[in-house]
């Protein structure tokens, strides 16, 4: 897979590109992960080009078409129509946007809170570590879904608050992971070597400790994507997340609960969409771990 590029790669980037190429080769070898990656890419493209791809883009919003309610799959509506007459395929496609955006925001926010706290706990140890970890323990003693539910309910039922609720539920896991990694990296000789050069503690933390402590959270967060999407859908299903007419998959399932036996496609389509997306993220995350973990990488 050697590509001739029309320009000179700056010398400092070249080794990083080499590493990237190697990662991609590894990914290709792990077929399941590769499939996961492909599915994810498809979903991303779906999300980006939703207005173009969806046959009835307006159905993602408030439009109704009472005459076409609950039509089974046909040529005009490959996945049928829902209880408001809207094209399910179009709503699924737009739903990909919602799931991906919401998932990314939730995890991003969780990382934003969790990573600095965990890094500080790991680097400094002592009382700071104790305090942070006790807070983490507190949060972790609640069952995650219940906690998300409670926060979501307290904040008010909408998608934005669901995202916030998930971020608040999720951040402690990341703190724990990066704290552990930071603690083990702290003991390594190259940190002592940096001290022996006379670098300040802050510089060591950012230049040496942090870059080497993040692999754990990177892997975990990509694996978490699946769980986050399910949680989001669950919250929407329970009425706490996305609200009508948002084409969120969980919400779509819940609004058609009563139609499951008579018009199964209204529930199966969004259900399958969730399943496929979560599956893709899970297997990709698994493969990502193998790629990033230095031990399995260097065979």
Partner 1 sequence: MNESGFLKLENLKKYFPIEEGFFSKVVGHVKAVDDISLQVKKGETFALVGESGCGKSTLAKCILRLIEPTEGDIIYKNKNILELDDKEMKELRKELQIVFQDPYWSLNPRMLVKDIIGEPLKEHRDMKTNEIENRVIELLNLMGMSEDHLRRYPHEFSGGQQQRVALARALALNPDLLVLDEPTSALDVSVQSQILNLLIDLQERFDLTYVFISHDLGVVQYLADRIGIMYLGKLVEIGDKKDVFDDPQHPYTQALLSSIPEPNPRDKKEIETLGGSVPDPSNPPQGCNFHPRCPYAEEVCKEKPPHLSKHHGRQVSCYRVDEIN
Neighbouring CB atoms inside 10 A of 266's CB total: 25
| Smallest separation (angstroms) from partner 1 to the CB of 287 | 20
| Smallest separation (angstroms) from partner 1 to the CB of 108 | 22
Q: Which of 9, 14, 51, 244 binds partner 1 (CB under 8 A)?
A: 14
Query: Between residues 23 and 64, which has the closer beta carbon with respect to partner 1?
Result: 23
How far apart (Å, rounded) are the C-alpha atoms in residues 139 and 146? Answer: 11
**Both tokens assigned to 186:** 């702290």
Identify residues 150-169 at the interface with partner 1 (CB under 8 A): none
293 part of the interface to partner 1, by CB under 8 A? no
How far apart (Å, rounded) are the C-alpha atoms in residues 99 and 108? Answer: 14
Query: Between residues 154 and 189, which has the closer beta carbon with respect to partner 1?
Result: 189
Please say whether the beta carbons of 232 and 157 come within 8 A: no
Counting residues that bind partner 1 (by CB under 8 A) gives 22
Q: How many CA atoms does the CB half-sphere of 7 hold within 13 Å?
A: 3
Identify residues 173-212 at the interface with partner 1 (CB under 8 A): 188-190, 192-199, 207-208, 211-212
299 part of the interface to partner 1, by CB under 8 A? no
Find the helix or strand (DSSP H, E) in which 25 lies: helix 14-29
Here's the x/- map for partner 1, 56-95, by CB under 8 A: it reads as ----------------------------------------
For residue 19, report the phi and psi dihedrals to the nearest 5 degrees. Answer: -65, -40
Neighbouring CB atoms inside 10 A of 139's CB total: 16
| Smallest separation (angstroms) from partner 1 to the CB of 76 | 54
- C-alpha distance across the termini of the chain, in Å: 20
19 part of the interface to partner 1, by CB under 8 A? yes
Residues that bind partner 1 (CB under 8 A): 11-12, 14-15, 19, 188-190, 192-199, 207-208, 211-212, 294, 298
């Amino acid at each position: 897979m050697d590509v001739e590029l029309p320009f000179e790669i700056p010398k400092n980037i070249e080794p990083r590109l080499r590493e990237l190429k190697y990662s991609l080769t590894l990914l290709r070898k792990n077929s399941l992960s590769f499939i996961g990656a492909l599915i994810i890419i498809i979903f991303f493209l779906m999300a980006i080009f939703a207005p173009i791809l969806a046959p009835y883009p307006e159905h993602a919003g408030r439009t109704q078409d009472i005459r076409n309610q609950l039509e089974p799959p046909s040529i005009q509506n490959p996945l049928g129509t829902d209880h408001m007459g809207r094209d399910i395929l179009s709503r699924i496609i737009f739903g990909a946007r919602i799931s991906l955006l919401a998932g990314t925001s939730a995890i991003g926010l969780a990382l934003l809170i969790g990573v600095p706290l965990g890094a500080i706990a790991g680097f400094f140890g002592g009382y700071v570590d104790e305090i942070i970890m006790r807070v983490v323990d507190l949060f972790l003693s609640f069952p995650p879904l219940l906690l998300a539910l409670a926060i979501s309910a307290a904040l008010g039922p909408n998608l934005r608050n669901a995202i916030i609720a998930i971020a608040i539920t999720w951040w402690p896991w990341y703190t724990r992971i990066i704290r552990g990694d930071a603690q083990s990296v702290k003991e390594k000789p190259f940190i002592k070597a940096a001290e022996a050069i006379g670098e300040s503690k802050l510089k060591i933390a950012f230049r040496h400790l942090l870059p080497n402590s993040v692999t754990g959270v990177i892997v975990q967060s990509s694996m978490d994507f699946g769980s986050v999407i399910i949680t989001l859908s669950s919250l929407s299903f329970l009425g706490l997340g996305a609200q009508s007419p948002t084409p969120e998959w969980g919400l779509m399932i819940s609004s058609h609960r009563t139609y499951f036996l008579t018009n199964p496609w209204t529930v199966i389509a969004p259900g399958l969409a969730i399943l496929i997306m979560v599956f893709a993220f899970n297997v990709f995350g698994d493969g990502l771990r193998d790629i990033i973990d230095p031990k399995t990488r260097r065979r």
